Each structure stands twice: as C-alpha cells, then as structure tokens.
Amino acid sequence: MTGRCGCWGNVLTLQDAAYPAALRTIADPPQRLYVRGTLQEADHRAVAVVGARRASAYGLAVAEWLGQELARSGVTVISGLARGIDAAAHRGALQGGGRTIAVLGCGVDIVYPPEHARLMVQIIEAGAVVSEFPPGTPPLRHQFPRRNRLISGLSLGVVVVEGRADSGALITADCALEQGREVFAVPGGVFAETSALPHRLLQQGAKLLTTVEDILEELRLPKPPTSAAASAIALEGTEAAVYAQLSLDPQHMDVLALRCRLPVAEVARVLLGLELRGLVRALPGQRYVRTTVET
C-alpha cells in the first residue's frame, strides 16, 4: 500500500514491494518509511559516506571527491544531510551526476540544518530524502543515533571519512558491523584530532581506503567503463605558480604571496581568477584551498 501523506512525499510500509530490500535484512527495520523523491532498483548498489560535522578542509575535500567518484561509478551515495562531511558527500554525488539519498533524523518536511534547504531540494530531484519519523517530527537529539542504523542499513558499505573519538559516525560504523556491512576508513594525519575515529576503526579491522577502486573491489561492484582520464588543469605564469603552492590545507593569502615571492595584490587577483574557474575555494579569513585532489 502506497499512501500520500499530505503533500510531503510517500509512505512505504514493510509490506510494500517498493520498500528497500536492504532494509528488510536488518534487525529492526522501520514499519513505515517516509520518502520524498524516488527510490529506484539501482539504489541497492549504495555506499554510505559519513563523518564529522566539524570537519577539516581535507575531510571535506575527500568526502566531496568520494561522492563524485562513487556517483560516476553508478553507486548511490547515502548520508545524513548533516553539516560537514555529510553535506560534502551529497554535493559530490550531485556534481558527479549520480544518485544520492539523505536519511534524516526528523520529518522529511523539516529542513535541518536550515542552511541545507537548497541542497535538500537538489537531493530530492536526484534521489531521495527518507526518514522513519512522520512529517512534522522536530530534530531531537535522541533521534539521530536511531537514524544512523538506516544509513548503514540502506548501504552495502560505510565509509568513515573523519570523526573525533566520540563522533556519531562511530554509531553508524557499529550498526554497519551488526548488519554485516563493510566498514571503510579514510586515513588522516597522525596528529589530526578529526581523524581519531577512522584510525581507531582501521586498528579494529576496517578497510583502508585510498581510492574508489578499494570500495568497488571489496563490494564486487562494476568499475566505471572509462577510467577517469581527468583533463589536466592547464595553467600558466603566475596562476600556475600560485596554484602550485595551494593544497587541501587552508593557507592565508599572505603566506601564499610570500611563498610565491609575489606582491599580495597580485596574488589576490590570481586567487580570484582561480576561484572563478572553480579551482580554489575561499574560506573565512582569506584562506584558500584547492577544490580537487586531482593535480
């Protein structure tokens, strides 16, 4: 039985044929699933990308890159629409032209956090926003750990990109293990607090992830037909010099100017040019990072 629920999406019950098969296999599947957007047959090939809300620029770049690569490989990207890693993963999948599903800890008619209103609309167009909570349910603290079991339940594997030792991503990883899903972890710097959780997961036997192929092979998913021969970024002169100094670590304009031995006014101009071409991102405090890991 598929019923409309106001104007806020569809309701799927456990008895519905359209109810995601993967969710039937977990210990306590929700009786009802509220869906905005569409769930497709192809969504059984899904991987969750989760992590900290307060993430580093490195973590955000990795999450976005993973989302994009997974989308290009025809894998649906699942996450929780939270700030930080979650949002970056969703955005990456959208940029990669693939499908993405956001599992909420509140009703599907509520945008939380509010600044993700636009992102949510895009996700509904290119996938689905789902929740086990009826529309109108406010985002309460205790609902988010429950929501995490659905993120892992809908996926074949869970990638933990970043997280502090007590991060909520730990719950998702635990659920994944209980549900028999694969757990992948992205390595970070030894001293990086934000990578404490993935490092611990690695010690406990999670799969180390350095390329998307690591996921595809482990989950026996088909690799994309054309291996991404990413067009090299063609830059000249001062643009090349400034771009060469940039990395995924945020750097202030003054530092860049010093390293490039260029006047700061010149560097400011070049950085704006690079930003307009989508190659760098400006962070608060006049700090800059590359947008892609590819060189």
Partner 1 sequence: MLARVRSAAVLGLEAYPVDVEVDVGIGLPAFTIVGLPDAAVQEAKERVRAAIRNSNYQVPARKITINLAPADVRKAGPAFDLPMAIGILAATRQIRAPAAPNGTMLVGELSLDGGLRPVAGLLSILLGARSRGTRAFIVPEPNAGEAALVDGLQIHPASTLAQVIAHLEGTSPIPPLRTAPRAAASPPDDVDFNDVRGQDHAKRAMEIAAAGGHNVLLVGPPGAGKTMLARRLPTILPSLTWEEVMEVTQVYSVAGLLRGSGPRILRPFRSPHHASSTAALIGGGPGPRPGEVTLAHRGVLFLDELPEFHRDVLEVLRQPLEDRVITVARVQSTVTFPAAFMLVAAMNPCPCGHRGDEKRECLCTPPQVARYLRRVSGPLLDRIDLHVEMPRVLPAELTSVPTGESSTEIRARVLRARAIEQARLGGAASCNAEMTPRQLRRHCRLGEEEKAFLRGALERLGLSARAYDRVLRLARTIADLEGSDGITVAHLAEAIQYRAFDRPLRLLG
Tell me which residues touch partner 1 (CB under 8 A). Answer: 54, 83, 113-115, 250, 252-255, 257-259, 264-265, 268-269, 271-273, 275-276, 282-287
264-276 helix and 253-260 helix, angle to the nearest 10 degrees? 110
Residue among 182 and 239 whose Cβ is closer to partner 1? 239
Cβ at position 170, least distance to partner 1 in Å:
20
E strand or H helix at 230 = none
Cβ at position 100, least distance to partner 1 in Å:
21
Cβ at position 83, least distance to partner 1 in Å:
7
Token pair of 229, please? 């021969």
Cβ at position 265, least distance to partner 1 in Å:
5
Token pair of 286, please? 């006049």
Residue among 38 and 245 whose Cβ is closer to partner 1? 245
Residue among 232 and 265 whose Cβ is closer to partner 1? 265
CA dihedral (24, 96, 212, 51) positive or negative: negative
Residue among 282 and 293 whose Cβ is closer to partner 1? 282
Residue among 121 and 268 whose Cβ is closer to partner 1? 268
Cβ at position 182, least distance to partner 1 in Å:
32
b/e code 51-71 from CB counts within 10 Å (16+ = b): bbbebbbbbbbbbbbbbbbbb
* Block residue for tokens 């509904």: 124
By C-alpha distance, which of 187, 197, 38, 228 is closest to 123? 38
